[in-house]
């Protein structure tokens, strides 16, 4: 048998041993440098203001870039029993003016597809005999610039509904000889084209020659 390993420290000594206390390190308080704190605060404030200014500049440039690009718009005059469908706009350029269904041409979409989509999205009726009438340079709402494509169609089925209440107040059928005075955008051009066959129009601009 192996003999047990004996501790080199006598049992009596181990029993009487006391724990050794390690003194905690002393940390001397550092004096506050008021001038340094003020400088850091000013630097942080400067960085914050600079970042805020850069963000505002980027947003402004983006908005101006959007306004500096001519967009393609599509509009439709829908006729039923000799009357034309017009809606009162709101919350957009041309607010409180009357126009037919219409909107922006989307990428990869033909003008005719845009016209049919806008009719479905804005008033939900069915039309037939959709035909292109005219093209207009519309700068009435400058700095917005639109190349506008006008269509005419005949009502086929359904009752006009306000499907985009954030953009439109109401729909109504109007006699072409008794239209509201405040017509939107190219509606007057659409009517003239429908009656005379004229194909191209320009509208007043705030741009100086």
Which tens digits make up the pLDDT trace of 94-141? 899 999 999 999 999 999 999 999 999 999 999 999 999 999 998 888
Query: Residue 156's pLDDT is what?
Result: 98
Distance in angstroms (rounded) separating the CA atoms of residues 83 and 177: 9
Q: Which two tokens stand for residue 130?
A: 């959709």
Q: pLDDT at residue 50 above 80?
A: no
The mean pLDDT of the chain is: 81
* Mean pLDDT, rounded, for 170-184: 94
Distance in angstroms (rounded) separating the CA atoms of residues 185 and 191: 12
DSSP calls for 167-186? TEEEEEEE-TTS--SSB-TT
Which tens digits make up the pLDDT trace of 130-152? 999 999 998 888 888 899 999 99
Higher pLDDT, 141 or 34: 141
User: Could you tell me which of 155, 165, 73 has the C-alpha nearest to residue 114?
Assistant: 73
* Mean pLDDT, rounded, for 160-174: 95
Higher pLDDT, 42 or 192: 192
Taking CA atoms, 131 is separated from 113, 119, 141, in Å, by: 12, 14, 26
Query: Residue 128's pLDDT is what?
Result: 98
Distance in angstroms (rounded) separating the CA atoms of residues 110 and 122: 18
Query: Residue 70's pLDDT is what?
Result: 87
CA 103-139-177 angle, to 5 degrees, is 70
Query: Residue 91's pLDDT is what?
Result: 85
User: Could you tell me which of 98, 86, 139, 133 has the C-alpha nearest to residue 112?
Assistant: 133
Domain ranges of the chain: 32-69, 71-202
Taking CA atoms, 141 is separated from 25, 129, 155, in Å, by: 75, 30, 30
Instruction: State the number of CA atoms in the 13 A half-sphere of 43 facing the CB.
Output: 6
Q: Is 108 helix (H, G, I), strand (E, B) or coil?
A: coil
Are 137 and 71 in contact by the 8 Å Cβ rule? The answer is no
Query: Residue 206's pLDDT is what?
Result: 45
For domain 71-202, the CATH architecture is Alpha-Beta Complex (3.90)
Query: Residue 209's pLDDT is what?
Result: 41
Q: pLDDT at residue 86 above 80?
A: yes
* Mean pLDDT, rounded, for 77-93: 93
Higher pLDDT, 14 or 134: 134
Q: pLDDT at residue 34 above 90?
A: no
Query: Residue 208's pLDDT is what?
Result: 43
Distance in angstroms (rounded) separating the CA atoms of residues 28 and 110: 78
Q: pLDDT at residue 58 above 70?
A: no
% of residues, the chain, pLDDT over 90:
55
Which pTM value belongs to this model? 0.66
% of residues, the chain, pLDDT over 70:
66
């Amino acid at each position: 048998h192996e003999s047990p390993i004996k501790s080199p420290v006598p049992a009596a000594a181990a029993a009487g041993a006391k724990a050794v206390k390690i003194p905690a390190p002393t940390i001397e308080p550092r004096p506050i440098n008021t001038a340094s704190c003020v400088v850091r605060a000013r630097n942080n404030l400067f960085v914050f203001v600079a970042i805020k200014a850069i963000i505002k500049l980027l947003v402004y440039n983006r908005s101006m870039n959007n306004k500096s690009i001519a967009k393609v718009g599509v509009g439709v005059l829908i006729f039923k029993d000799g009357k034309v469908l017009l809606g009162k706009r709101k919350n957009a350029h041309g607010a409180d003016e009357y126009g037919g269904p219409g909107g922006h041409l989307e990428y990869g979409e033909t003008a005719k597809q845009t016209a049919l989509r806008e009719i479905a999205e804005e008033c939900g009726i069915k039309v037939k005999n959709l035909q292109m009438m005219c093209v207009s340079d519309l700068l009435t709402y400058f700095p917005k610039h639109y190349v506008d494509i006008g269509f005419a169609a005949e009502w086929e089925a359904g009752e006009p509904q306000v499907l985009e209440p954030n953009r439109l107040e109401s729909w109504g059928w109007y006699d072409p000889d008794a239209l509201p005075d405040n017509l939107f955008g190219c509606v007057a051009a659409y009517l003239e084209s429908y009656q005379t066959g004229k194909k191209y129009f320009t509208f007043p601009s705030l741009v100086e020659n």
